[in-house]
Structure formats: C-alpha cells, structure tokens
A and B are shown apart, each in its own frame.
Chain A
Amino acid sequence: MDLNYTPAQNAFRAEVRDWLHSHVPRQPFASYDTREGFEQHRRWEATLAEGGWSSVTWPRELGGRGCGLIEWLIFEEEYWTLDAPQRINQNGILLLGPTLMEFGTTEQKARFLPRMARCEHMWAQGWSEPNAGSDMAAISSRAIRDGDHFVVNGQKTWSTRAMFANWLFGLFRSDPQSSRHHGLSYLLVPLDTPGITVRPIRALNGKQAFAEVFFDDVRVSDDNLIGEEGQGWNVAMATAGFERGLLLRSPARFQRAAQKLLQLYRKHQASADRDPSIREAVLRAWMGAEAYTLASYHTVGRLNRGESIGAEASTNKIFWSELDLQLHETAMRILGPRAELSDDPEVHDWLEGFLFAQAGPIYAGSNEIQRNIIAERVLGLPKS
C-alpha cells in the first residue's frame, strides 16, 4: 500500500488542470437533450479530442493517452472540480469502445475508434425493446443475413441520445429459429440508413432524453458485425460488464455533488437545522461519496495488480445510484418549498439532478437485476 501519488501522477494532474483551466467554457451549455445544447457539447467533445483528453486510458494511436486507471481518476477529479461540461459520447467511449477493443477486427478498430474519440460518430444504444427490458434475452428485433448484408426489422426503445446521435450499437436476432441468448448478433448501424425512424420519448424533465428506433428492412453491411454471427450475447455481456463496472460513474462526480451539498447546507443552515435529521443526511451523503471514491481506488489497485472485476461490479451500480438519490433528496429537503421552482438559479441543477437520479436505479441494468447477479454469481445462490 502506498497512498502517495507518484511525481509523474502529480505532473499529470498539473497538466490536466492547466489544460482544463484554459479550455473549459466559462458559460454553462444548454441541456444536451436539446438540439442546440447537443451541438455545444459535441463541439466540446471535439475540443477534448484535439487536446487528447477524450479518454485518457485509450492507447495513443486511437486518440487517447495510454494512461493507467489512477490517471483516469485524477483526470475525473480535475474535470469535476471545474464543473466542466457533461460528456455526451460516453455510450461510445465507455461501452462500445472497450467492446471494439476486445472483439473488433483491426479494420473495425481503425474505422470506428478514432472517429468516436473525435466525436464524428456519436453513439446511441440499441438494447431494450418494448418486450425486452430487464429480460434482455427476449430480444425479437431481427437481423437476417442477405449476402454480405443483414436486413434489420423491429424496434428498439429507451435509446439514450438517439435523437441526436448518428450511429447505434445493439443486439439483434440473426437466427430466427433461435431463442433467448442464442442466435443474437452485435451490429453497428448508421442511423441515417433508409428504413430507420427515430421517434423521441420525453423524459421526466420534459426533454428528449431518449427515443424509440424503428427498423423497416434496414440493410446493414456485415462489415459492421462485431464478433461472430450468433455470438452477440457474449459480446453484449462484455459491454454490460464494462457499463456496470468502474468507469460509467466516476467517484469525482459524487464527491463534487457532496461538496456542493455541504455548501448548500451551510448556506441554509438556519432553516435546515429545524430538522436535525437533515444535517445527518448531509454528513451521510459525504460518507457515501467518500466510500465510493475509496472503493474505486481500491478496485483500481486490484486491477493494477492483475486481478479482474467480476460480478462484484454490480455492487458499484447499486451503491452509486442509491447515493445519487440520497445526495439529491437531501438537497431538496434543504431547499424546502423552493425546491419545486425549476427556474430558480439555485434550485435548477439540484432539481435536474434529482430527476435524473430517479433513473439511476433503473438504467444500466435495474438494481433488482444487479442484486440477483450479486446473489447468484458472488454468493453462489441458486437461480430462481
């Protein structure tokens, strides 16, 4: 155990800080779930890519910095300290990127990864269907081979960012005789292909945060098949593993929120202290953010020692999603009657965060599914 950053890590932190100080926009952007805001965020992603900051853990030849995971934690700490813009291509960078690195051909890696880093390709997810939510193996959208193409028919839903993205990755049934997790294929689909219709779904905050995607005889080249035909489930499970794992929600995000919560409490202490449980909730929120950070550093250490993260990654998803609720619920309690005023400048971000936090225990594999995974794969309890 050595709890000091190396001189190189300290130098890296200084470099990140300098770059961010001179590049992070002074004025906050519009919501990325609007056309205008999405474009602002996309340009910011391109700026990050030019600086080589899209994904510090990616290899240099793919637009990253070839850094380790401690450097990733450092980058995130500096990024969140400055309230830099939300990242909008994380579907690609965190989910599809690692999958391509593991399962993609050399040609596919060269074609997709640098464009992903530069944000020429903005990625949406194509997992859920109206009848395949938590039960993802119930997927029925088809991709039937026709020569060197697949013909895709069906419907995907809850596709985050699909309103403004230009590519979609997802899972389709390529063997019509198959059932459950057999006979599925992992495809990359350009969203401007004829036969695709994208219809927005308004989220709790009224914005077009996700969409339904309809496929009507959509022809997709088999150059865009990731892994082997019919083996898509295994490829997708690897992606789901990354998503639930370490990178999706960096600890710095919650440390920043906890810090702001402490500040909010101090500012409104006179009114908040009328209910002594509020102060306890504030301290508990700090404890949660700190515990999540410490657990992340511990996990990174284990990975650096050559261990792998298994099903215990599911504890991460449960922990951060419940922490996010706790942080924002506490802020709402401090704000009291004003908490419903969505245009109030002090309220706005807390309220948006509160609404978004409601989704945390549902997306990326509901927390019920995560608890099943922990019980079955960590504790070895029998399947139901």
Chain B
Amino acid sequence: MDFTFSEDQIALRDSVSRLLMTEAAPETLREVWETDAGRSPELRRKIAEQGLTGLSVPEAEGGLGMGDMDWALMTQELGYYAIPDSLADTACIAAGMLAGLPGGHTLRSIWLPRIVAGSCRIAVGHPVNPWVADAHLADLLLLPNATAEGLELHAVTGDQVQLTPLRSIDASRRLADVRWQPSEASRVADAANAQPLWDAALARGALCAAGQMVGLAQRMLDLSVDYAAQRKQFGKPIGSFQAVKHHLADVVTRIEFAKPVLYRAVSALNASAADLAVRVAHAKLACSDAAWTAARKGIQVHGAMGYTWEVDLQMFMKRAWALDAAWGDRSFHQARLLPLLEVPEWSGPGATFR
C-alpha cells in the first residue's frame, strides 16, 4: 500500500511545469487568447516535444504508454498555467477513446501517432456537455449519435461540421454548437460498443477538469499570497492580518483534501471499479470546491485590484468558473453519489481501498 507518486512521476511533472512557466506566461496567453483561433501552434509544438501529447498513448502507437495517474499530475499543471481545453481533450480524453477501440482499427492507427506528434487536435462532443470545446480547430471530432439502441460513436473531420461559436466568460474557451450529419461511414462504434467508450470519456473528462481546477486553485492561492505579502495598508503587509491569513489558510485546506480524492478516483478509472461514478463525482465536487473557494477568497484578498481586467487573477478565476460545470455540473455529480445509499460496502472503516 503506497498512495504516493514515484520520483519519476514527480520529475516528469516538474519538467512540464518548468516548460509551461516559461512558455505560457500570463502575458503570452492574453495575446494568444485575443486572436480568433485563440491557440498557439508554437506552444503545442513545444509541449509535444516534451512528450506530454503522447503521455497515455500506447507504446505500440508511438506514445509513452503511461496512464491516467500521470495525467492527474499533468492536468494540475495545465490548470496552474491555464492551458486551454484542446490539449487535455486531445491527448487524454480523445486518446483514451481511440485507445479503447479494438487493436488495428484504422482510426486508432491513423490518429494516435498524430496525437503523439502534436500534429492534430481532436474535439470530443460528450452528451454531458451541451457544446463542444475547441471544435473550431479540430482535425477530427468524436461525436455521439443517439439511436433507439443507445449512443453510437461517430468520427467526422473538421470540414464535415457546421459550427456556431459561443462566447465564454473564460477568454481561453472556444465553445461551439456543432451541427453534423451522422452516416454509415462516420460510425465508429454501435451503441453497445460505444457506451463503455463514452463512460470512460466522461470519467476522464471530469477528472481532467478536476485536476485543472486543483491546479487553478493553487495558482489563485499563489497569486493571492504574493499580493497579500506586498500590498501594505495601515503600515503593514495585509498578509499580516489574521482575517486575510484565514481566508488563504482555508484555501490550503481545501486543496490538500481535494488532491488525494482525485488520485483515488483515477485509480478507480484504472481498475474499471464498480464505484467509479461515485469516486469521480467525489473528485469533481471536491476539486470544484477548492477552485471555487480559491476564486472567492482570492478576489477578496486582492481587493479592488481583483475586480480588474489588468490583474491576472481574473484569467484563472474565469477558467475555474467555466470548468466547474464542464463534464458534469455539481447537481449531475451530486446525483451520481446516490448509489452510496444503496451499497453498504462502499462506506465505513476499511472501505476506501477495498
């Protein structure tokens, strides 16, 4: 029993963090986000060179063959540096769906190596999300088609869809309403085969959002601590006042008690555990809670400066508010906890790793 990360996992996380620190500074992101596309091919290339795009792609398809547990560390970095949706959607969620197809499937052999190379963007239209993120630059879209038998999985290229863009309060988001025509040719999996892929995508999507929210919470905390240490009132740094300290201490506590919940949910995904939905719901809710608290306390500590466009806090707050309801909002995940009331062995001492 060892519920911690290995030194190698931490070292990889740290190297990605160093890359994003220099390549994804807030002023760079603001410039990128102001463009229509809102994405930087340059940044994506550097991230791919670091190996991040191939993290969970199987080794046979040219990836690193690591897993969702590594993503749980990486998504925190993506959140900390406010990296837009396309990366996790492509390299974690879509890669997971493609790797779930039978070996030798053409879609798999074409697209997984491209994901590794960082030369494609794939958007995922999961039914839990009313709109599709990063559809505007997607080379491929994985979309659901509801039939009497259930939810099929279809794949269409970017030129086969009609998009109506929707503006988000999060300037990094590129959301769209997607119109498309399912066909025999676009069907990748029938309802029976597609459902497990959609289920895994939901778990992965929610956990990616959760990881990013913990990272966002940490960033908002760090920004707030810096501000409270340098801003002076009454002749002292405001961070010396207990009322301010206690706001920030509460954020630390939320973060510390959200991360292990995230890691446990990832292990349930790895094991395809019976309580997967419960674990994922817990992780999403706990991480939302940390990010939401960090935003509220963060703006309070920043005072009027926190309410400005100029101060970077807003970039991270808005991303947290957007992700809060992405991949299942709070009421969706709250409802997914209900089986706890029906399955006695999921609660009580010793139930955590049973």
Which residues on A are within 8 Å of B, measured CB to CB?
Answer: 1-6, 9, 13, 70, 74, 76-78, 80-81, 251-252, 255-256, 258-259, 262, 265-266, 280, 283, 286-287, 290-295, 297-298, 300-302, 304-305, 312, 314-315, 318-319, 368, 370-372, 374-376, 378-384
Contact = CB atoms under 8 A, between A and B. Distances in A.
Contact of A381 (B69, B248, B338): B248
5 contacts: A280-B334, A290-B261, A301-B2, A318-B249, A379-B252
B263 A382 contact: no
Given A251-B349, A381-B225, 8 more contacts: A1-B3, A259-B351, A287-B286, A291-B258, A298-B263, A318-B253, A319-B257, A379-B245
Nearest to A71: B1
A81 B348 contact: yes
Interface of B is mostly: helix
B256 interface: yes
Interface of B: 1-6, 69, 221, 225, 228-229, 236-237, 239-242, 244-246, 248-250, 252-253, 256-261, 263-264, 267, 282, 285-286, 334, 337-338, 340-341, 347-353
B270 to A, nearest CB: 9
Contacts of B258: 291
Contacts of A2: 1-2
A292 B221 CA distance: 21
Contact of A315 (B6, B242, B256, B351): B256
Contacts of A375: 239, 245-246, 248-249
Contact of A384 (B3, B241, B256, B349): B241
A86 to B, nearest CB: 15
Report which residue of B239, B242, B257, B263 has the largest number of chain A beta carbons within 10 angstroms of its beta carbon.
Answer: B257
Contacts of A1: 2-6, 69, 263, 267
A380 B337 contact: no
B353 A3 contact: yes
B6 to A, nearest CB: 7
Main secondary structure of the interface of A (DSSP, over half): helix
A372 B267 contact: no
A298 B4 contact: yes
A134 to B, nearest CB: 12
B246 A381 contact: no
Nearest to A13: B350
A77 B351 CA distance: 9
A21 to B, nearest CB: 15
A266 B341 contact: yes
A110 to B, nearest CB: 33
B261 A291 contact: yes
Contacts of A302: 4
Closest 10 CB pairs of A and B: A375-B245, A301-B4, A294-B260, A252-B349, A371-B249, A259-B348, A77-B349, A374-B249, A381-B239, A77-B350
Given A1-B6, A3-B3, A301-B3, A294 B263 contact: yes
B213 to A, nearest CB: 15
Contacts of B239: 375, 379, 381-382
B252 A378 contact: yes
Contacts of B4: 1, 298, 301-302, 304-305
A301 B6 CA distance: 11
B1 A3 contact: yes
Given A1-B69, A292-B257, A371-B246, A78 B350 contact: yes
Nearest to B250: A371
A370 B253 CA distance: 11
A216 to B, nearest CB: 38
Contacts of B263: 1, 294, 298
A228 to B, nearest CB: 33
B105 to A, nearest CB: 30
A314 B260 CA distance: 17
Given A294-B263, A315-B253, A381-B240, A286 B246 contact: no
A262 B1 CA distance: 28
Contacts of B240: 381-384
B103 to A, nearest CB: 27
Given A290-B352, A368-B242, A380-B229, A295 B248 contact: no
A255 B350 CA distance: 8
Nearest to B331: A280
A81 B264 CA distance: 22
A379 B249 CA distance: 8
Given A70-B1, A381-B245, A80 B349 contact: yes
A295 B260 contact: yes
Contact of B257 (A262, A280, A295): A295
A251 B3 CA distance: 15
B353 A374 contact: no
Contacts of B242: 368, 371-372, 384
A283 B246 contact: no
Given A76-B349, A77-B349, A295-B260, A379 B248 contact: yes
Nearest to A372: B245
Given A368-B242, A379-B249, A287 B349 contact: no
Given A375-B246, A381-B239, A78 B349 contact: yes
A13 to B, nearest CB: 8
A71 to B, nearest CB: 10
Nearest to B260: A294
B228 A381 contact: yes
Nearest to B340: A286
B27 to A, nearest CB: 25
